[in-house]
Structure 1
Amino acid sequence: MHFVAHGAGTPVLAIHGWTPDHRLMLGCLEPLFGRRAGYRRLYPDLPGMGRTPAPPSVASSDDVLAELDAFIGREIGDAPFLLIGESYGGYLARALARVRRSQVRGLALICPIGTAVEHAERRVPAHRVLRPDSGLVAGLEPHLAEEFAGMAVVQTPETLRRWREEVLTGLDAADRDAMARIRQRWVLRFDPEDGPPFERPAVILTGRQDASVGYVDQFALLPHYPRATFAVLDVAGHNLQFEQPALFDTIMAEWLERVAAE
């Protein structure tokens, strides 16, 4: 499994979402951790995404989870670590917190898939653009304009830059055949919340205008995470980390402080 690592100290495993690669997490987390010593950040590419291949044996989300668990065994071992997941990566992170409960000292979920995994079952708002820039979108190639405008709630030169560097680069690198194979068995065999509650510091960040995973299905997770801060950010979609970067940094920093206090 290809990965990038920065820093030294307590391991932090950051898991990106479906289709992008590690750059999605690198872009939003390095500014946060770059100001804090004592953390070793691990940014893997999931199988079939980025530079991690997905052989035919990887044919389900359970197989992806097994690859991640093996990665933890190699790079972290039995040491305590922090766990961060975005979107599909949040779904996998919740499952890892279940199987490695004794090691995970803090859990952060960024726009995670909620209780409804399949798109058709999710309760999501209609897509809305609250900070439009028609000139910016008009200057893009048609296929890029469609992708960016179809996701962005905030259209600015900065959100476009970060979307290009942190999202689009991964979309272009993905192995579509492998992902189609995994997608056929997308739901994990065991519910991530099947078991005792996760009673260490957690945070669940959602976007009020997130038309991909929404925010309602994530609220239903709260009984399983009694130490979770739950936030629904306005003027934020599925890329809330760079549509509301100041709030993202503040809430994530507060989560780190709660973890450190434990």
Structure 2
Amino acid sequence: MNTGTAPSSVPTLGTDTRAWLYGAPEGPTLILVHGFRGDHHGLEGIAQALVAAAPELRVVVPDLPGFGESPAIPGRTHDIALYGEWLRAFAGEVAPGGFAVLGHSFGSLVVASALAGGLAPRRTVLINPISAPALEGPQAVMTQLAIAYYRAADLLPERAARGLLGNRLIVRVMSEVMAKTRDPELRAWIHGQHASYFSTFSDPTTLLEAFRASVSHTVTEYADAFTMPTLLIAGDRDDITPLAKQLELQRRISGAELRILPGTGHLVHYEAVAEAVGEIAGFLRREVTA
């Protein structure tokens, strides 16, 4: 596996997952799982800052199946059960001796599903976990509109579907809604990241399946599977999951710690990297000193 620049191919469920390594090749492993429509670039800042703060770490960041450079898994529906199965297979390949795991947003659901199926990390970190039902409450109308958007794309020919799903104006609107920082340079950088990497999916059908998976479950459903030390990191301005639901998730996971980052929304991995990395590094180091 290479160091943060060129990907390696990891055999998983009949295909090859592309993954990037940051930090020490033989150190304790932390697997990072990115969110919906992203790829490893979304967590690259977290990975780089983590190995700068804790150079002993071996941080592995894969592209989820069907996103970035990882192909879709052939012959399978990309539901949350499949993504959980994939993570168990991937972890078994890259860290058979043990690991910690981190999931952001949709990645938190992938981690939760994998735990319910038997994944056994030493420690778990969830950033902006999906703790509120997307089809209920104030976000329900927006979710139904998004479902219609992805369904419409799935009905179009491939080229037209990619044009709709990758429409720069639509992607920019999504980015503007999610970004909470008032720093114009940081906002411009976030929009650039979304423009560059938000549409690197394998095909519209897989994207629709993954979207359905992302809005059909919450981490809270899998709370009993979190039997290891768990750290939750949330922004107090997250439009996807209100803070009250993150507090409820903390109560549901035995012994879970919750760190709330003020002035930040669903893009902690872009807007509050230093703060998040400080919490993660301290949490992981407590395992060593315990």
Q: Indicate the TM-score class for this superposition, using the shorter chain for normalisation.
A: 0.7 to 0.9
User: Equivalent residue for 1:3?
Assistant: 19
What are the equivalent positions in structure 2 for 1:38-77 lying under 5 Å apart?
A: 38-54=56-72, 55-77=74-96
User: Equivalent residue for 2:46?
Assistant: 28
**RMSD after superposition:** 2.6
User: Equivalent residue for 1:112?
Assistant: 129
Q: Distance in 1 between matches of 2:137 and 2:114?
A: 22
1:219 to 225, 230, 247: 247
User: Equivalent residue for 2:223?
Assistant: 193
User: Equivalent residue for 1:133?
Assistant: none
User: Equivalent residue for 2:162?
Assistant: none
Larger relative contact order (CA 8 Å, sep ≥ 6): 1
Once the two structures are TM-superposed, the CA of residue 123 in structure 1 deviates from its matched residue by: 6.3
Are 2:115 and 1:85 aligned? no
Once the two structures are TM-superposed, the CA of residue 229 in structure 1 deviates from its matched residue by: 2.0
TM-score by length of 1: 0.80
Q: Distance in 2 between matches of 1:100 and 1:10?
A: 20
- Which amino acid letter does the alignment assign opposite residue 255 of structure 2? R
Query: Paired residues, what number?
Result: 239
* Identical residues among aligned pairs (%): 21
User: Equivalent residue for 1:138?
Assistant: none
Once the two structures are TM-superposed, the CA of residue 142 in structure 1 deviates from its matched residue by: 5.0
Q: Distance in 2 between matches of 1:183 and 1:247?
A: 29
User: Equivalent residue for 2:4?
Assistant: none
- Which amino acid letter does the alignment assign opposite residue 37 of structure 1? P
Once the two structures are TM-superposed, the CA of residue 176 in structure 1 deviates from its matched residue by: 2.8
Give the 3-state SS of the residue equivalent to 2:223 in structure 1: coil
Q: Against the structure 1 CA distance between its residues 181 and 247, is the aligned structure 2 distance closer, same or farther, given a 3 Å change threshold?
A: closer
- Which amino acid letter does the alignment assign opposite residue 83 of structure 2? V
- Which amino acid letter does the alignment assign opposite residue 129 of structure 2? P
Structure 1's unaligned 5+ residue stretches are 125-140
Higher helix proportion (structure 1 or 2): 2
Are 2:142 and 1:97 aligned? no
